[in-house]
Structure 1
Amino acid sequence: MQLDAIDVKILQLIQENAQLTIKEIARQINLSMTPTHDRIKRLEQEEIIEKYVTILNRKKLGNPLMVYCSITLDKQQKNQFVEFEEAIRQYPEVIECCIVSGNYDYLIKVIAKDMEAYNDFYQRKLSALASVAHISSSFVMSEVKTTTVIPL
């Protein structure tokens, strides 16, 4: 799908504030409400816009500790990948999980209320997975940049 300048502007606006009304978006892009609505619906149907979410402040909700874990599996076999991924999807502490290239198989992003809670997650859940051979934890000391905005 080709995006024109108006589509790009719509996407920029809703990435910054998904609560904007059709009327507010239409005003900012100098179109009437009907074509603005039609464009947004088309972007949704084409799955350029996947979903609308609310971003919560994890620190204010009691999860200030963030940890990146690099994980190596015991064997690089399909059944082990499947088992690991199924388990990770069940852990609410894990907010991101990616298969990566290099020295590790996975990189996960974990949040916790404190070091004790992370240690409990590490010992009772993560290291208890039979397929996990090695875990390297990196603790976030300060966030320099955090965004969900995709450059257009």
Structure 2
Amino acid sequence: MLEKLDGIDRAILRILEKDAKTVAKSIAEQLGLTKTPVYERIKRLEKEGFIQNYTVVLNTAKIEESITVFSFVSLDAQKGSLMDDFLLSVAEFNEVTECYVVGGEFDFLLKVTVKNLDAYYDFAKMRIATLPNIGVVKSAFVLNEAKNSHHFPLL
């Protein structure tokens, strides 16, 4: 059962989601509250797992050139242990930044970030294709990033 969040909890989460460096004093001012109860709420939200961690969003274009590829992967057999083995293997690949188990035509959706097309070819050939039980891999190459957000729509 999902735990309930009240309006103040949701407001705090919205503020922190936009900027995790926002201090309790600033959040309190924005919400018309005092610092101590806001600080205590943040600590409770962390303790209860609503806030998993704080992170930095990098401007990857400033760091180095790269391409993003979405790889749709189907296994030959969808037995639980084989799917688990695939997930464990993929978790070790630095190139895979996100991995989802999906329903429909494919079993998994991978978000892969590599330097260029040659690097993706090497990744697909030397890493993905060599895993046991791989059936089909289809790739979609990102041409332009229209939106990239980790925003969760808190209602």
CA distance in 2 between counterparts of 1:41 and 1:13 reads: 15
Is contact 1:96–1:108 with CA below 8 Å preserved after alignment?
yes
Q: Identity over aligned residues, as a percent?
A: 36
- Give the Cα separation in 1 of the matches to 2:4 and 2:80: 37
User: Does the aligned pair in 2 maintain the 1:64–1:111 contact within 8 Å?
Assistant: yes
Q: Which residue number corresponds to residue 73 of structure 2?
A: 71
Residue in structure 1 matched with residue 8 of structure 2 by the alignment: 6
C-alpha displacement of 1:29? 1.1
TM-score (norm 2): 0.93
Structure 1 pair 142/91, CA: closer, same or farther in 2 (3 Å)?
A: same
Deviations 1:67-91 (Å, cap 9, x if unpaired)?
Answer: 0000010111122112211110000
CA contact (8 A) 1:88 1:94 kept: yes
Where structure 2 has 5 or more consecutive residues not aligned to the other structure, the ranges are none
Normalised by the length of structure 1, the TM-score is 0.94
CA RMSD of aligned residues (A): 1.2
Provide structure 1 residue ranges, at least 5 long, that are not aligned to the other structure. Answer: none
How many pairs does the alignment contain? 152
What is the aligned partner in structure 2 of residue 46 from structure 1?
48
After superposition, what is the alpha-carbon deviation per residue over 1:94-113, rounded to whole angstroms, capped at 9, x for unaligned?
A: 00111110111101000011
State the secondary structure of the residue aligned to 2:62.
coil
* CA-CA distance at 1:63 after TM superposition: 4.8
Contact 1:72-1:134 at 8 Å conserved across structures? yes
The SS at the match of 1:60 is helix
Give the drift of 1:46: 1.8
Distance 2:65 2:46 in 1: 32
Q: What secondary structure, in the 3-state scheme, does the structure 2 residue paired with 1:109 have?
A: strand
